[in-house]
A and B are shown apart, each in its own frame.
Chain A
């Protein structure tokens, strides 16, 4: 209804009249100023509503009464409305953000701001080339002037550099426009036909497009933009970074149809190069705003590449990808600049200050997650679709550049986030001043991101509410955070129960089995978390998110649903790990490795042929013939998550540094997600065995993980780190037995994973109980706790017997199954190495139980009480579980046999309790009773024949006719297997750790090398621009 031309007219008129209004007081001028801005937003919003919902066709407005070629015509279509809506909205919110600044500064800044908004609107709507030049100039001049809103030396020189570079670019733009006119004789975009640009004509369109591309700050020629981002006032920088760039990117979008294909490709490649290198250089940044500058340049490059590469795809896809990247960049960037404005801290390492202000930290976190493409934010969907598109287009080089670039981005963004959450608060001025206006605009923007993501989730993908569950859990529990922790614990327990109930009718019993591990296992582990005393905000929210994402993993129907659940699981476990006291490095390491794995899986999934049946992925994948590259990628992704050799360095850090009642979740259940994935890959692999026998190598990796994990575990001083390496070694067993691809192999894999979940959670919870009482994790500080904590001792004793595989308990069943499957399959050397690993596992198991429970009790632990009841209940449940399985193995062998039955024909005969395989037979029940009988005989002998027994205290030992000086000196715990380490000699060196450390160093030095380009000298920047143009010209090969 309102003709969009009024936007330009009104802002222009207001611009001039403001100085008059100002005469009668600044308040009046401000009111006028803000009313104009809100008017613009409403007009555009109304049109946008008409276009999208009512489906009105694009509107063309002719000026000065003449039709198009003679006069300038403006056009407002769905794309323009979308861009303008966001541009004006950001403009309004940035203005609100700058309200304090506008009050003080003279009226000219308000005028300039209005002119800027008018320039943006005009630039987007105009179809006429020269008019575009005019609006571009208006826009640039007002931005140049606004840069010195806060007058300091840095912003002035940055402004000057920006102006020169902008000037050069606009000169070329002008030349381009003129030559286009010369060759086509026409200035209006609609009437120029691209065929005119034959041989000579190419120079015109080249000049035009290169000028616009320079404005978009391509990689080598964007020094001037970085200085502006770093020094200018945050409000203005957000406007420059978002509103200007949005307008210019749209200009590029408008002139794109004219460009020849080879020029387009060059710009696409240049975009990806910009994204990759700016993120690489971001690694080395310590200044917050400059880091955001690098990231925004990168995002612009990505946006350009996305526009170019989605040119031939259907509209819906374009809107999703380009729209997703656009909103993601726009909102996240503006929000983050505003937050840097609020926090006012130059150096990243001082951002520990954010810990004080929880609300701001949440905003900051959400915006960072949006920027780095974590679901449910738009960036995630856009990246998924874009990678899928590129992979189908066989452009692997581009895919590689983008994924590697976004990995660098994840590194420096999450490093920033972990510093903010875990960094120490800087001493001077620790307080963040609260300004309503700044908070208001940031919260609005975060709200908009969330609404967009929900819209995308609803509109583009018809997800059922299961996929939303993890999100709902976090939000609901965020609002319930004031309730004391125990009630929240019970609530979450009930929630998991209900979720399990809804999840129950699984399609395949393999899902049921993993369902039990995930849901029932986490339910029991939640009991252990009930021991928490204080409110501990946000813990149960993310815990539920993780558990629900486990469940969603099982019932995922499409690749995207699986990947969505996978990413939810990663991000929630990352936040849970981050809660640990010294967990900053550990969580960063974890998120980097998981995202790298996730990206590999993303490529894998996009390469995989699409699913036929709509049943759960685990079933549907069995009749899909995954090409070999996909299986390799997926397998690597899943193995990263299950901590196999070579990518295992995140595992000990994450387990040890996470809070003591979180580590059981991570080690017992999170690793099983990787195992579930490997099963999925295995299922598709067995139906269509391709040439290259990949699973043979996965088998070797599993075996080596087992042996290396066992050795590393036995040389640890910290109890939780020891258990972490032990889980790595146990999962190594599982991975190796999956790789056998035989009935017995998979049976042992499932049996061991169920076993591992039980005894590993029991062990971790027991150590949590010990840590809760003795407040220390290093083992040599403990000792002799059997007298004070007998129940924990029993649970650890049963745990280590189960882990080591000593006959009566269920561990032996796992070992028997594994060795028979290995020998049956013919992997003899692997069986030998596995046997060696299980023998070495005795070392660390004995070390765990001896240093903590046996030996000498220290003075300070004299009055330690038994672990709290909440830790004991889950341990008792798990102990009962282990005893039940070892007493009646059929309880689990029977169902597992049927599960594996529908993939392989069964190779074992189960009659009663006697299980006979091709090699030998095992009767768990009989062994258990015989062992009990055997155990009773010497007990009776001892009780009968033993004289009067006198139980004595800990110092009544034969100490070579002396008395022991102190418990510390007589307790053998520190560096227990020093001779073994000496025997291993060279083999003991941490090679893999060094390798990853080297790559990290190498990446940082490379980033240091590339950022030398920005020497800070304005002239060199102009030189870069001109050289860039010349280089692109030659590449284009006119």
Chain B
């Protein structure tokens, strides 16, 4: 019986997260517009776009794997979100986190990535494998600092369970990981830039070089599912970062505020920097962020 309730709660929290993710996207579009000095689309524009794309009457598919590509991607996004305990202490937003575990969440991100890669690959368009090759290589490089940061956190709180990590960070602002192990946070935030694929690292959907990379053949409802996933997936990642490094959230409002500012970091960096060449971005991640990651581990082990 409680399974049904848990599923109901999960559905509610997913809807909340998706709405929040999409509005966050709309707000970020507004911020970009303001940086360019124009008004920019209304904040709820992503919702309209989704409805319009779903509204398409005709769609083309390149085969079964192409059909399942977006399904894998959205399932990846859903899975990542559902395995993270969003609000510390609340039952509604606990999702399926009782099995919640950092490694599971980190590897579920790959699930979405792999599914998308296969779906786009079947499309047959040369741009999609190019985009995916760049995406996977970049993902492999920014995973290194992120994993080092995660290991540092795991050592510090002596557990891979997100709920225990968040619990350890409660109390005052000072025992957030931000202050107890700043290096880990720096490394993680840099790899977040890579994860969110904002401008300096927007190799995958590089509009000029390979017009929108992997999803070039995605149309109508396939595209719509990808758009909803972009909302949910960003929300999930931000929640993960919030839990790990910024002390989690006891209620929805704190969650929204914290995740917004985390996202703001990559948005501002994105608005200011031009895009890297692929090898530059790989080399960038393997140089300084990795060193900071290693320092964070040494810092934790010896202090």
- Co-assembled chains A and B: yes
A836, B60: Cβ atoms under 8 Å?
no
Whole-angstrom distance between the alpha carbons of A919 and B162 in the complex?
A: 11
Q: Which chain A residues border B83 with CB–CB below 8 Å? A: 930
A840, B140: Cβ atoms under 8 Å?
yes
Which 7 residue pairs are nearest across A and B when measured between Cβ atoms? A854-B121, A920-B160, A835-B147, A983-B282, A938-B74, A983-B279, A979-B278
Size class of B's contact patch?
Answer: 35 or more
Give chain A interface residues in 830-880, CB to chain B under 8 Å.
831-832, 835-836, 839-840, 842-843, 846-847, 849-850, 854-856
Q: Which of B57, B63, B107, B147 contacts A787 (CB 8 A)?
A: B63
Q: Which chain A residues border B65 with CB–CB below 8 Å? A: 786, 793, 854
Given contacts A807-B104, A854-B122, A942-B222, contact A836 B217 (CB under 8 A): no
Q: Per-position contact with B for A804-848: 1 when CB-CB < 8 Å, else 0?
A: 111110001001100110010000110110011001101100110
Q: Which chain B residues border A823 with CB–CB below 8 Å? A: 151, 154-155, 160
14 A-B interface contacts by CB (under 8 A) = A787-B63, A805-B107, A816-B103, A816-B104, A823-B160, A832-B151, A919-B160, A919-B161, A931-B75, A934-B79, A937-B78, A957-B125, A973-B129, A976-B133
Q: Which chain A residues border B102 with CB–CB below 8 Å? A: 920
Q: Which of B82, B125, B126, B224 contacts A945 (CB 8 A)?
A: B224
B99, A854: Cβ atoms under 8 Å?
no
Q: Per-position contact with A for B95-128: 1 when CB-CB < 8 Å, else 0?
A: 0100101111001101101100110011111100
Q: Which of A832, A919, A926 contacts B148 (CB 8 A)?
A: A832
Given contacts A937-B78, A947-B221, A976-B129, contact A828 B151 (CB under 8 A): yes
Give chain B interface residues in 272-303, CB to chain A under 8 Å.
277-280, 282-283, 286, 293-294, 297, 301
Residue of A nearest to B161 (CB): A920
Q: Which of B59, B74, B139, B148 contacts A946 (CB 8 A)?
A: B59
Whole-angstrom distance between the alpha carbons of A972 and B210 in the complex?
A: 13
A921, CB-defined interface residue at 8 Å: yes
Interface 9-residue window, one of A82-90, A231-239, A380-388, A948-956 = A948-956
B123, A957: Cβ atoms under 8 Å?
yes
Q: Which chain B residues border A849 with CB–CB below 8 Å? A: 118, 121
Q: Which of A812, A842, A935, A983 contacts B139 (CB 8 A)?
A: A842
Q: Which chain B residues border A842 with CB–CB below 8 Å? A: 110, 113-114, 136, 139-140
A926, B99: Cβ atoms under 8 Å?
yes
Q: Per-position contact with B for A916-946: 1 when CB-CB < 8 Å, else 0?
A: 0011111100110011001101110110011
B103, A934: Cβ atoms under 8 Å?
no
A775, CB-defined interface residue at 8 Å: no
A221, CB-defined interface residue at 8 Å: no
Q: Which of A835, A927, A950, A979 contacts B134 (CB 8 A)?
A: A979
Q: Which of B67, B99, B129, B158 contacts A855 (CB 8 A)?
A: B129
Q: Which of B58, B82, B124 contacts A784 (CB 8 A)?
A: B124
Q: Which chain B residues border A979 with CB–CB below 8 Å? A: 133-134, 137, 277-279, 282
B90, CB-defined interface residue at 8 Å: no
Other A-B pairs beyond A801-B114, A839-B139, A979-B277, 12, CB < 8 Å: A829-B297, A846-B132, A850-B129, A854-B122, A854-B124, A930-B83, A930-B96, A952-B60, A972-B126, A976-B133, A977-B133, A983-B278
Residue of B nearest to A833 (CB): B144
Q: Per-position contact with A for B76-95: 1 when CB-CB < 8 Å, else 0?
A: 00110011000000000000
Whole-angstrom distance between the alpha carbons of A18 and B159 in the complex?
A: 97
A797, B220: Cβ atoms under 8 Å?
no
B155, A972: Cβ atoms under 8 Å?
no
Give residues in A with beta carbon < 8 Å to B. 784, 786-787, 793, 797, 800-801, 804-808, 812, 815-816, 819-820, 823, 828-829, 831-832, 835-836, 839-840, 842-843, 846-847, 849-850, 854-856, 914, 918-923, 926-927, 930-931, 934-935, 937-939, 941-942, 945-952, 954-959, 970-973, 976-977, 979-980, 982-983, 985
Residue of B nearest to A955 (CB): B124
Q: Per-position contact with A for B44-68: 1 when CB-CB < 8 Å, else 0?
A: 0000000000101111111111011
Q: Min CB distance, A283 to chain B, in Å? A: 42
Q: Which of A922, A939, A951 contacts B63 (CB 8 A)?
A: A951
B117, A846: Cβ atoms under 8 Å?
yes
Whole-angstrom distance between the alpha carbons of A819 and B220 in the complex?
A: 41
A972, B159: Cβ atoms under 8 Å?
no
Given contacts A846-B132, A855-B129, A922-B104, contact A807 B61 (CB under 8 A): no
Whole-angstrom distance between the alpha carbons of A835 and B56 in the complex?
A: 42
Given contacts A946-B59, A954-B124, A958-B125, contact A839 B143 (CB under 8 A): yes
Q: Min CB distance, B55 to chain A, in Å? A: 8
Mostly helix, strand, loop or mixed at chain A's interface?
helix
B133, A930: Cβ atoms under 8 Å?
no
A972, B154: Cβ atoms under 8 Å?
no
Whole-angstrom distance between the alpha carbons of A977 and B155 in the complex?
A: 34
A934, B129: Cβ atoms under 8 Å?
no
Residue of A nearest to B130 (CB): A972
A942, B107: Cβ atoms under 8 Å?
no
Q: Which chain B residues border A970 with CB–CB below 8 Å? A: 124-126
Given contacts A842-B139, A843-B136, A951-B60, contact A927 B99 (CB under 8 A): yes
Whole-angstrom distance between the alpha carbons of A807 and B112 in the complex?
A: 11
B61, A949: Cβ atoms under 8 Å?
yes
A797, B61: Cβ atoms under 8 Å?
no
B63, A786: Cβ atoms under 8 Å?
yes
Given contacts A784-B124, A806-B114, contact A948 B129 (CB under 8 A): no
Q: Min CB distance, B94 to chain A, in Å? A: 14
Q: Which chain A residues border B125 with CB–CB below 8 Å? A: 957-959, 970
Q: Which chain A residues border B140 with CB–CB below 8 Å? A: 836, 839-840, 842-843
Mostly helix, strand, loop or mixed at chain B's interface?
helix
Whole-angstrom distance between the alpha carbons of A240 and B36 in the complex?
A: 96
Q: Min CB distance, A925 to chain B, in Å? A: 10
Q: Which of B61, B136, B147, B283 contacts A846 (CB 8 A)?
A: B136
Q: Min CB distance, A94 to chain B, in Å? A: 67
Whole-angstrom distance between the alpha carbons of A383 and B114 in the complex?
A: 54
Given contacts A946-B221, A950-B60, A980-B282, contact A934 B82 (CB under 8 A): yes
Residue of B nearest to A801 (CB): B114
Q: Which chain A residues border B297 with CB–CB below 8 Å? A: 828-829, 832
Whole-angstrom distance between the alpha carbons of A829 and B111 in the complex?
A: 25
Whole-angstrom distance between the alpha carbons of A945 and B301 in the complex?
A: 53
Q: Which chain A residues border B114 with CB–CB below 8 Å? A: 800-801, 804, 806, 842, 846
Whole-angstrom distance between the alpha carbons of A939 and B225 in the complex?
A: 10
B124, A806: Cβ atoms under 8 Å?
no
B216, CB-defined interface residue at 8 Å: yes
Residue in B62, B70, B96 whose Cβ sees the most chain A Cβ within 10 Å: B62
B27, CB-defined interface residue at 8 Å: no
B71, CB-defined interface residue at 8 Å: yes
Whole-angstrom distance between the alpha carbons of A198 and B143 in the complex?
A: 80
A945, B54: Cβ atoms under 8 Å?
yes
Residue of B nearest to A954 (CB): B124
Residue of A nearest to B81 (CB): A934
Q: Min CB distance, B207 to chain A, in Å? A: 14
Q: Which chain A residues border B277 with CB–CB below 8 Å? A: 979
Q: Which of B60, B107, B136 contacts A815 (CB 8 A)?
A: B107
Q: Which chain A residues border B63 with CB–CB below 8 Å? A: 786-787, 951
A952, B62: Cβ atoms under 8 Å?
yes
Q: Min CB distance, A596 to chain B, in Å? A: 34
Whole-angstrom distance between the alpha carbons of A801 and B110 in the complex?
A: 10
Q: Which chain B residues border A839 with CB–CB below 8 Å? A: 110, 139-140, 143-144, 147
Whole-angstrom distance between the alpha carbons of A50 and B136 in the complex?
A: 78
Whole-angstrom distance between the alpha carbons of A835 and B145 in the complex?
A: 10
Residue of B nearest to A843 (CB): B136
Residue of B nearest to A840 (CB): B140
B220, A922: Cβ atoms under 8 Å?
no
Q: Min CB distance, A954 to chain B, in Å? A: 5
Q: Min CB distance, B66 to chain A, in Å? A: 9
